[in-house]
Amino acid sequence: MVDVAALGWLAWAGVAFLALQTVASWWVPVCVLVAVLVIWWHRGRRARAGLGYPVLVLATVLVGGWAVITLAVGPASGGDVVWVLPEWAPSSGTPIGGVVTTGRLVGGLSLAGQALAHLALVALVLRCVSGERLARLADVTLGRAARFVHPACFAAEELARAERARPALAAHGLGGVTSSVPEAVASAAERADQWGRGGLPDEPARLTRVRVLVVLAIVLTATTGAVGRTVTGVEASLLAVLAIVGTGAVLARARFVVGRAVDLAPAACAALTAVLVLSEADPTLCALSLLMLPAVTTAVPEDTRGEQRR
């Protein structure tokens, strides 16, 4: 059984990733960040409360890292001189330090926004798709090999639970996050073990061999297409993931379940953005189409009954 809503969220994240890689507009990372912030506030607040703090810490580290890289080794990129740092020029490689210009700062800000947008997409999937849904999708896609990724499916929820259980005075600083990681890893492994005992797909060895051969053929085709320039590397990767999930669903004879009509909204919004991006429409229009999903999310309240049943 495959939850269409979970597939929709994953599809939207994949299409947003495609837009970040192929659409040359600073509106794309801005719209991705705005969309994730709105959706984060309206989805998963009860089941995965506490996940926001680790995400904010990672975002802070990411922005700080890009700031250091920009100031240290970023290209001058024109513009007015802001200040001059001590410069060290190794015998081979990029000089470190030197003149810091406004163009250099804008370039660093752009890179930081791109990095934050990619992190936001991962956080969105962890916020909106429960560990059980991810594990079920892994069962359908990977068959008996899914047991190797089950701990990763439950890791975010267990980290959020560990964050909620910690005393308030211990919940500050980077050390506060790292102190919860061992407990979250152990809890995720335990839940994965319980999920596996609940019944992994008992597929015949013949289907396992077919699955492996199909995956190898897809990877070879995607690589050939990327090298032959018929598709970009990002498009080839996303097509490979889509084909692998589809093949797994066919081999597992999965049944697709739609709880409510609104569960189709993420997939529909992903399809709209995908059409605009692949047709090379106006970059601003491609970016603004990413805001359709948060608009629907805001208008329709979250249904927590199905989450509680699962």
Task: State pLDDT tens for residues 158-193.
Answer: 888 887 776 654 445 545 555 677 788 888 888 888
**In the structure encoding, which two tokens stand for residue 112, read together?**
């930081």
What mean pLDDT value characterizes the chain? 78
Q: Select the more confidently predicted residue: 207 or 263.
A: 263
Q: How far apart are alpha carbons 82 and 308 in whole angstroms?
A: 55
pLDDT score for 30: 93
Contact 1, 84 (CB under 8 A): no
The residue type found at 117 is: A
Q: How far apart are alpha carbons 3 and 87 in whole angstroms?
A: 55
**% of the chain residues with pLDDT over 70:** 78
Q: How far apart are alpha carbons 190 and 134 in whole angstroms?
A: 16
Select from 15, 31, 5 the least CA-distant residue to 272: 15
The full length of the chain comes to 310
**% of the chain residues with pLDDT over 90:** 16
User: How far is residue 289 from each of residues 19, 23, 75, 229, measured CA to CA in Å?
Assistant: 11, 13, 33, 27
Q: How many CA atoms lie within 13 A of 67 on its CB side?
A: 6
Q: Any idea what the Cα angle at residue 2 is, between residues 38 and 289, rounded to 5°?
A: 30
Task: State pLDDT tens for residues 202-248.
Answer: 556 566 667 667 777 776 776 676 666 666 777 777 877 777 787 77
What are the DSSP E strand ranges found in the chain? 2-3, 81-88, 96-101, 256-257
3-class secondary-structure state, position 257: strand
DSSP class of residue 95? -
pTM for the predicted model, two decimal places: 0.80
Select from 285, 264, 265, 263 the least CA-distant residue to 275: 285
Report whether pLDDT(33) > 70.
yes
Select from 106, 108, 101 the least CA-distant residue to 70: 108
Task: State pLDDT tens for residues 112-146.
Answer: 888 899 999 998 998 888 888 888 888 887 777 77
Question: What is the pLDDT confidence band of residue 276, given thresholds at 50, 70 and 90?
Answer: very high
Burial class (CB in 10 A: 0-12, 13-18, 19+), 60: exposed
Task: State pLDDT tens for residues 69-81.
Answer: 777 776 656 777 7
Q: How far apart are alpha carbons 214 and 220 in whole angstroms?
A: 10
pLDDT score for 223: 67
CB atoms within 10 A of CB 303: 13
**In the structure encoding, which two tokens stand for residue 180, read together?**
């919860």
Contact 6, 137 (CB under 8 A): yes
DSSP class of residue 264? G
Report whether pLDDT(29) > 90.
yes
